[in-house]
Every structure is written in C-alpha cells, then in structure tokens.
Amino acid sequence: MKIPIKAIIFDLDGTLVSSSLNFTIIKQAIGCPAEQDILTYVASLSASQRQAANDTILAHEMHDAQSATALHGAHKLLQFLQQLQIPTAIVTRNCRQAAAVKVNQCRLPISQIVTREDGLPKPNPQSLLSISRRWNINPHHIAYVGDYLYDVQAANNAGMQSILLTFGTDKPYQAQADFQFDNLRHLHATFALSQRESQ
C-alpha cells in the first residue's frame, strides 16, 4: 500500500454483496438514454416524473436485495479489520432501504452506511469526505474499495487510495486505480501481509 491505511470504505453491490440489477432494463423502463448516468437523468426530471422513476428503481432494487448474498471472502475480511480495530463504512448509490436489507441479510458487520439519499452520488466525493471528517482521519489514509469506474473516480476525487476489484476481468479504467485485486480474498491476503510488515 502506498500510505498506511487507517480505515476502509466499501462500495456495496458487486463489492461486498452480489447484485443482479440490470441497468439496461431499468433505464429502458424509465426512459433514460443508454449512455446517460441513471441518477443524473432522474435528477433532471420534473417532480412527478422523478417520483415515478424513483418508484421504478426502488422496485428493482428491493427485488434485487431479496436475493443478495455476501461475496466470498467478505466476512473474513471484515472480521479481520474488526480485530485490527480499523474503522469501516459503506458508501453506495443504492437507496437506503435496499442497502439496509442487503447489509442485514448478508450479516455484514458495518454500521455506517451512506446511500444516495444521504449525499451526492459517486463519483462525487462528498459522501466519502463526510466519513473522513467524522472519523477525523486524513483521506490519504483511507482506502475506498469498489468494482466500477465511479468507485475509482470517487476515491481519486476524495484523495483516498482507490482499490478496484476486477474479479479476473480486465476493465478499461483499471489503470486509474491505485491498486487492483482479483477479489476480496486477494485484498485480504495483501492487506494482512502489509500489516505484518509494518509491525
């Protein structure tokens, strides 16, 4: 790791838990152009249109939440971080209701959860920086772990260490991340090694 990591923030879907959300289908259902960010599009709608779009998105998210499972290695990594007393949090573009279902259902030991209702969505760094201030930890000493471009951009915009999970698939934006790992087990092993070497 570039700088000693004192805290870790995680994305949720595709990072700690499984997700089967199909954004192509959701975008079609609300009339969002395929190339446009879905939350940016919803924010541009009139109040009544925005409510209808949000209701549609919520229905998809809640259906997805019911079948979510913790990704392999998630529990062991989080338990390891707890043992080291390293603070953890989740910042997700999910709605609060779906995120709560996923965290509880998958028994993730993380109490600080920031959703799209709590601040500007990624790649805006607002939510990441609010947690940094709450912890009173310099952003440079915090890592943000995610599986998508917005996660890498949000971490970089916040001045945090960006960690991208690739799950064995090359991604066109992976060079923008400070670190790349195949999965949570790989991240766990590398982080454990760095902790031993720093002692």
Walk me through the domains of the chain, giving residue ranges and CATH numbers. Answer: 7-18+69-198 (3.40.50.1000), 23-66 (1.10.260)
The answer to whether 19 and 60 have CB atoms below 8 angstroms apart is: no
pTM of the predicted protein model: 0.92
Q: What is the mean pLDDT of the chain?
A: 94
In this structure, what DSSP letter does residue 120 have? P
Two structure tokens written together for 154: 């949000």
Position 29: which residue type?
A
Q: How confident is the model at residue 9 (pLDDT cuts 50, 70, 90)?
A: very high
Distance between CA atoms of residues 46 and 42, nearest Å: 9
The answer to whether 110 and 103 have CB atoms below 8 angstroms apart is: yes
- Per-residue pLDDT, 10: 98
Positive or negative: CA dihedral 95, 143, 20, 36: positive
Helix (H) or strand (E) segment spanning residue 63: helix 47-66
Helix (H) or strand (E) segment spanning residue 184: helix 184-198
Two structure tokens written together for 10: 């995680």
Two structure tokens written together for 151: 């996660």
Helix (H) or strand (E) segment spanning residue 154: helix 149-158
Position 85: which residue type?
Q
Distance of CA 101 to the CA centre of its chain: 15
Q: How confident is the model at residue 21 (pLDDT cuts 50, 70, 90)?
A: confident
Q: How confident is the model at residue 179 (pLDDT cuts 50, 70, 90)?
A: very high
Greatest extent of the chain over all pairs of C-alpha atoms, in Å:
57
What count of Cα atoms within 13 Å lies in the side-chain half-sphere of residue 130? 16
Helix axis angle, 96-105 to 47-66, nearest 10°: 10
Q: pLDDT tens digit string along 28-70?
A: 999 999 999 999 999 999 999 999 999 999 999 999 999 999 9
Q: pLDDT tens digit string along 83-136?
A: 999 999 999 999 999 999 999 999 999 999 999 999 899 999 999 999 999 999
